[in-house]
């Protein structure tokens, strides 16, 4: 493949419930450190959630944080951290050649719920409705807030792809770079989901909202006694560029994006379709021109629902069942489900494996569901392996959208 078509990751910025940098996040994944807490949710009382504790004022003023959105604030933090991590000389970079592609699950619910509640205290008098509401709730908001903060005049937009959105943001960046539309991308996913009661209420009415006396054991993918999703916030944004450009500026290359696929189940709004998931994985492998046996780590989407975990395991088993050196793990067990940020954050949690050769575990598995029993499923303790050259990242979402991303160690 020509260097102009080879696309690499050269920077990562993130915030997760258990870490506000790549190094802290990775350290806690290897040490088995989760961070889920109980928060007060309007109309519902105490619920379990993954909450981030990054420095909101590192890259924004108080007024900007107050007038903007939580998703935008997370995005601004992650984007600035990614640029700093990449080592690019941002001050002299041509901002018209930068693209911003941010995956989201949903956006605007938090702001609308808050405004409706606020005016309810004033007999629904709309003069108390914030004039910041419209820019807060337009779908391009998180990417737009990043654009304004960084002075980026190239294209910016968000990609609504449910819980497959983190991967989708990265895939969009790869495509735009290959088309020559941009020279530098900030891409990934963000989520403010734990700020809206609607998501919690919906999962509870569905019987899919996790509960456990110990918050840090609430998210239990693959465990027989799992009882649902832990809703979390978070963000992860990557610097992505052409290999030839990265080499010219002598960038440190974290990994190379070699394959991807997005497809649709077209069968149900909620229930996953393992056949379509299997096809998505297979097509990503085909684009990468590799076989299942070339993949060292499969990072699973598994959200700790009974049907969802089992269906994904069926798809993985069908593709990787004869691959004895492909290891499988899950990151949500540490941080809950960060929705639109999930795919991007979960990939970030595994990329360090290229260098340290550890596969982080899936924690909280006390009794493995036999329907989720996969060969080389790494449980409860990180596992050292001989090599990690290739990572496949699953990320699936409601309304049957599936995304798979394959990143290879650069050499």
* Residues across the chain: 411
d(CA 228, CA 213): 14
Tell whether 240 and 272 lie within a shared domain: no
Domain final residue, candidates 248, 278, 310 = 248
Domain final residue, candidates 213, 248, 283 = 248
Tell whether 25 and 145 lie within a shared domain: yes
Tell whether 119 and 261 lie within a shared domain: no
Q: Which domain holds residue 297?
A: 256-408
Spatial CA neighbour of 113 closest among 233, 201, 37: 201
pLDDT tens for the 411 residues of the chain, in order: 677 799 999 999 999 999 999 999 999 999 999 999 999 999 999 999 999 999 999 999 999 999 999 999 999 999 999 999 999 999 999 999 999 999 999 888 999 999 999 999 999 999 999 999 999 999 999 999 999 999 999 999 999 999 999 999 999 999 999 999 999 999 999 999 999 999 999 999 999 999 999 999 999 999 999 999 999 999 999 999 999 999 999 999 999 999 999 999 999 999 899 999 999 999 999 999 999 999 999 999 999 999 999 999 999 999 999 899 999 999 999 999 999 999 999 999 999 999 999 999 999 999 999 999 999 999 999 999 999 999 999 999 999 999 999 999 998
Measured CA angle at 15 (ends 29, 115), to 5 deg: 135
Tell whether 235 and 314 lie within a shared domain: no
Domain-located, residue 189: yes
Domain-located, residue 1: no
Tell whether 241 and 313 lie within a shared domain: no
Burial of 46 (0-12, 13-18, 19+ CB in 10 A): exposed
Domain-located, residue 282: yes
Tell whether 338 and 244 lie within a shared domain: no
Query: pLDDT, tens digit, for every residue of 342-380?
Result: 999 999 999 999 999 999 999 999 999 999 999 999 999
Tell whether 210 and 309 lie within a shared domain: no
Q: Are 164 and 105 in contact (CB under 8 A)?
A: no
Tell whether 204 and 305 lie within a shared domain: no
**Type and span of the H or E element at 321:** none
Spatial CA neighbour of 376 closest among 366, 385, 367: 385
The total domain count for the chain is: 2
With a threshold of 0.85, does the pTM exceed it? yes
Tell whether 287 and 234 lie within a shared domain: no
Tell whether 299 and 239 lie within a shared domain: no
Domain-located, residue 2: no
Tell whether 296 and 212 lie within a shared domain: no
Q: Are 274 and 191 in contact (CB under 8 A)?
A: no
d(CA 363, CA 34): 9
Tell whether 234 and 283 lie within a shared domain: no
CATH value at residue 314? 3.40.47.10
Q: Show the DSSP H helices in 97-140 as ranges.
A: 109-120, 133-137
């Amino acid at each position: 493949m020509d260097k102009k078509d080879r696309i690499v990751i050269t920077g990562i910025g993130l915030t997760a419930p258990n870490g506000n940098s790549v190094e802290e996040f990775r350290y806690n994944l290897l040490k088995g450190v989760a961070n889920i807490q109980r928060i007060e949710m309007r109309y519902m009382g105490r619920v379990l959630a993954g909450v981030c504790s990054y420095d909101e004022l590192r890259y924004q003023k108080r007024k900007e944080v107050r007038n903007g959105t939580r998703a935008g604030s997370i995005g601004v933090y992650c984007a600035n951290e990614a640029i700093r991590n990449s080592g690019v000389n941002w001050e002299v970079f041509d901002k018209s050649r930068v693209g911003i592609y941010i995956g989201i699950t949903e956006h605007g619910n938090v702001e609308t719920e808050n405004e409706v509640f606020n005016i309810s205290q004033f007999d629904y008098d709309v003069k108390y409705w914030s004039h910041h509401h419209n820019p807060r709730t337009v779908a391009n908001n998180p990417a737009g807030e990043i654009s304004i903060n960084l002075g980026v005049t190239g294209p910016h937009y968000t990609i609504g792809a449910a819980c497959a959105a983190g991967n989708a943001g990265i895939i969009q960046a790869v495509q735009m770079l290959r088309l020559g539309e941009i020279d530098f991308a900030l891409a990934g996913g963000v989520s403010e989901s734990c700020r809206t009661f609607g998501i919690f209420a919906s999962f509870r009415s569905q019987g899919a909202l996790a509960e456990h006396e110990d918050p840090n054991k609430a998210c239990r993918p693959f465990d027989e006694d799992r009882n649902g999703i832990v809703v979390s916030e978070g963000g992860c944004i990557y610097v992505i560029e052409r290999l030839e450009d990265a080499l010219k500026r002598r960038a440190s290359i974290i990994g190379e994006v070699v394959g991807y696929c997005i497809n649709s189940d077209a069968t149900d709004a909620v229930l996953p379709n393992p056949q379509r998931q299997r096809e998505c994985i297979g097509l990503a492998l085909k684009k990468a021109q590799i076989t299942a046996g070339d993949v060292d780590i499969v990072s699973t989407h598994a959200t700790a629902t009974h049907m969802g975990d089992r269906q994904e395991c069926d798809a993985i088993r069908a593709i990787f069942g004869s691959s004895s050196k492909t290891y499988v793990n899950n990151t949500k067990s540490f941080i809950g489900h960060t929705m639109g940020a999930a795919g991007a954050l979960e990939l970030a949690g595994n990329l360090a494996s290229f260098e340290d050769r550890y596969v982080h575990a899936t924690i909280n598995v006390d009794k493995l569901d036999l329907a989720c029993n996969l060969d080389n499923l790494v449980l409860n303790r990180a596992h050292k392996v001989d090599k990690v050259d290739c990572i496949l990242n699953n990320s699936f979402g409601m309304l049957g959208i599936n995304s798979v991303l394959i990143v290879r160690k650069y050499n």
